[in-house]
Amino acid sequence: MGTLDNLNKERGGRIEGMRFLLIIVALLVIWPHLPLQSEPAGSWNQFRGPNGSGVALDSRPPLKPGTDSVAWKIPVPPGLSAPVLSENRIFLTGFEDGRLVTLAIDKASGKKLWQQQAPKVPIEKLHEANSPASPSALVDRDRVVVYFGAYGMICYYHDGKEIWKKTISSPRSLYGSSTSPISHGDTLILVLDDDNNLHKSLLSRSRILALKKTNGEVAWETPRPFQRSGWSTPIIWKHEGGEELVILGNGRLCGYDLQSGEEKWHVTGFSRETISMPVAGDGVVHASASKRGGAPDAHPDPQPFWDAVIRFDTNGDKKLQRREMTGHFTFPFRPELPLAHSGYGMPLPKDPKQRGKRLDGMFHWMDKDKDGSWTEKEFISNISIGHGKPMLVAVRPGGRGNITGSHVAWELNKAIPEIPSPIFHGKRIYMVCNGGVLAGVDAGTGKLIYRNRLGGLGQYSASPVIANNHLYLCSEPGLVTVAKTGDTFGVVHQHDLSEPIFTTPALDKNTLYIRGKEHLWAFRSKD
């Protein structure tokens, strides 16, 4: 009996072992097809952190980031994607030696863990101010998804092993792609606003693409035929009536059903070029856009535009002739910038013949009286800073169709940034404009509480982030500023990174990560 018992035990053990092996094999087979797991609340797993809010409530980075708080500094490939974080890693994209790349970095040490190249493809045509690696990654507990306008989307495990990839036709736009993917449930959502028309149509090829996280297959697709190129990343707006996909595009803010992609409502009045990301707070969604050329107010002063033009008056007659439109001449969009700055004026072809034709058209367009010159009076009376108006709006939930007149709670037309997104915290909205101007707005009423200079000039491309009940702001010249939140303006600390900054920082529990033009910096609290 003892021998029989032993044999039965051995046979049972083998059966259980086989069952265990079968379970393991099954898990290995289905594991690549399991949905991405959601990140813990407060994680910085996408552009601008949790749902694009820019706020890390539990984060305690240094209040005085500077030399003493640098945990590490490492070189990174050129690119404009913002850092996104998993529990232990940082993910960035870049463009290096003619190739689109994704890299993973250890948060603790700054050590580069791996770098993967996307398939080699022709790079999309883009403005020199942009990069082929501009969209930020999207990460969960196990995987990271990257999007390149020139190629499409690639999904990796955290160790760099590829899971799937999907080519996506590149949208045509003046500046190139910069919209980042977001996540909802089992889908990835990507906005592909496009200046190209549909075949034999005057309608745009713009669309929203929802992909299955498991394999990159299309879950649903929604056309945006009246939209042209835009650079805003969408958000998921959760309110008392449910949740919606909210997208800021050229001319309008739209809300979509997350299951079908159906457009539910829209608000009009925005400018042609929309870049900033909407933000939600207290059941209301807020969105902002400046006028073309970065004009922050409803009635910009045309004089600086003329001052920028007349500097090319070589004969001193206080007029501008076509023959004087030489060298770096272009029509100024942002006359406060240096002439050689990529964002200064209208992009012109490099080919001399094509450039000449474009300048001819520009000259005759403004020479209304056809006397062969621009005068100050003629220029100022005819200048147009683009369609739409600069504005920050607050939109209430529950509307259908065009809700501009019914669900816009308030509208503000001053202190509107060109690129940085607004940020909501403590019933206040904060915005940073070019020239280092910080504005605080009452989110309930739209009243401008203050509008003060930070003490450092320059342009701002990076959006503000909030931790420690303080704002962290980065200028293009490299000035890092920490300012108070609340109703009172106050600068707590400033540090010159001595390196240009174009991308929005990232935050974890004790560290501020800043991507400069050439390096990634980690500023870490010591306690």
Supply the pLDDT for residue 480: 98
The reply to whether 480 falls in a domain is yes
- Based on the domain organization, do 256 and 398 belong to the same domain? yes
The reply to whether 475 falls in a domain is yes
Strands 143-148 and 152-157, by their bridges, are antiparallel
Supply the pLDDT for residue 226: 79
Supply the pLDDT for residue 295: 63
Q: Please tell me the distance from the alpha carbon of residue 117 to that of residue 405, in angstroms, as a whole number.
A: 49
The reply to whether 67 falls in a domain is yes
The reply to whether 258 falls in a domain is yes
147 to 84, 187, 212, 431: CA distances (angstroms)? 13, 14, 14, 27
- Based on the domain organization, do 95 and 190 belong to the same domain? no
- Based on the domain organization, do 371 and 440 belong to the same domain? no
Q: Please tell me the distance from the alpha carbon of residue 393 to that of residue 390, in angstroms, as a whole number.
A: 10
Supply the pLDDT for residue 424: 98
CATH code of residue 160:
2.40.10.480
- Based on the domain organization, do 343 and 358 belong to the same domain? yes
Which token pair is 280? 């939600």
CATH code of residue 230:
2.40.128
The strand pairing partners of 70, in sequence order, are: 523
The reply to whether 521 falls in a domain is yes
Supply the pLDDT for residue 464: 98
Strands 162-167 and 152-157, by their bridges, are antiparallel
Q: How many residues can be counted in the chain? A: 527
- Based on the domain organization, do 262 and 321 belong to the same domain? no
265 alpha-carbon distance from chain centroid: 23
- Based on the domain organization, do 205 and 322 belong to the same domain? no
Supply the pLDDT for residue 292: 63
Q: Please tell me the distance from the alpha carbon of residue 196 to that of residue 206, in angstroms, as a whole number.
A: 8
pLDDT tens profile 395-454: 999 999 999 999 999 999 999 998 999 999 999 999 999 889 999 999 999 999 999 999
Q: Which residue from 179, 190, 403 is spatially nearest to 284, judged by alpha carbons?
A: 403
Handedness of CA 342, 346, 347, 350 (dihedral sign): negative
Total-model pTM: 0.80
The reply to whether 25 falls in a domain is no
Residue 366's SS3 state is helix
Looking at 374, 409, 444, which one is the last position of a domain?
Answer: 409
Supply the pLDDT for residue 381: 81
- Based on the domain organization, do 51 and 171 belong to the same domain? yes
Domain enclosing residue 124, as ranges: 37-177+503-527
Q: Which residue from 483, 390, 487, 418 is spatially nearest to 447, judged by alpha carbons?
A: 487
pLDDT digit string (tens) for the chain, length 527 residues: 444 444 444 445 544 444 443 333 343 333 334 444 444 444 899 999 999 999 999 999 999 999 999 999 999 999 999 999 999 999 999 999 999 999 999 999 999 999 999 999 999 887 777 899 999 999 998 999 999 999 999 999 999 999 999 999 988 877 788 899 999 999 999 999 988 888 777 788 889 999 999 999 999 999 988 788 888 999 999 999 999 999 999 889 999 999 999 999 999 988 877 899 999 999 999 999 987 656 666 566 778 889 989 999 999 999 999 999 998 898 887 777 777 766 677 778 888 888 898 899 889 888 888 999 999 988 888 776 555 678 999 999 999 999 999 999 999 999 999 899 999 999 999 999 988 999 999 999 999 999 999 987 889 999 999 999 999 999 999 999 999 999 999 999 999 999 999 999 999 999 999 999 999 999 999 87
Q: In what order do the strands lie in the sheet with 218-223?
A: 182-184, 187-192, 207-212, 218-223
pLDDT tens profile 457-506: 889 999 999 999 999 999 999 999 999 999 999 999 999 999 999 999 99
Number of Cβ atoms within 10 Å of the Cβ of 36: 22
- Based on the domain organization, do 51 and 138 belong to the same domain? yes
Q: Count how many domains the chain has.
A: 4
- Based on the domain organization, do 269 and 404 belong to the same domain? yes
- Based on the domain organization, do 361 and 484 belong to the same domain? no
- Based on the domain organization, do 319 and 461 belong to the same domain? no
- Within 81-133, strands assigned E span 84-85, 89-96, 99-106, 112-117
- Based on the domain organization, do 405 and 421 belong to the same domain? no
The reply to whether 64 falls in a domain is yes
Supply the pLDDT for residue 386: 54
The reply to whether 3 falls in a domain is no
CATH code of residue 318:
1.10.238.10
Supply the pLDDT for residue 1: 44
Run of H or E including 467: strand 465-467
Query: What's the angle, vertex CA 454, arms to CA 452 and CA 457, rounded to 5?
Result: 115
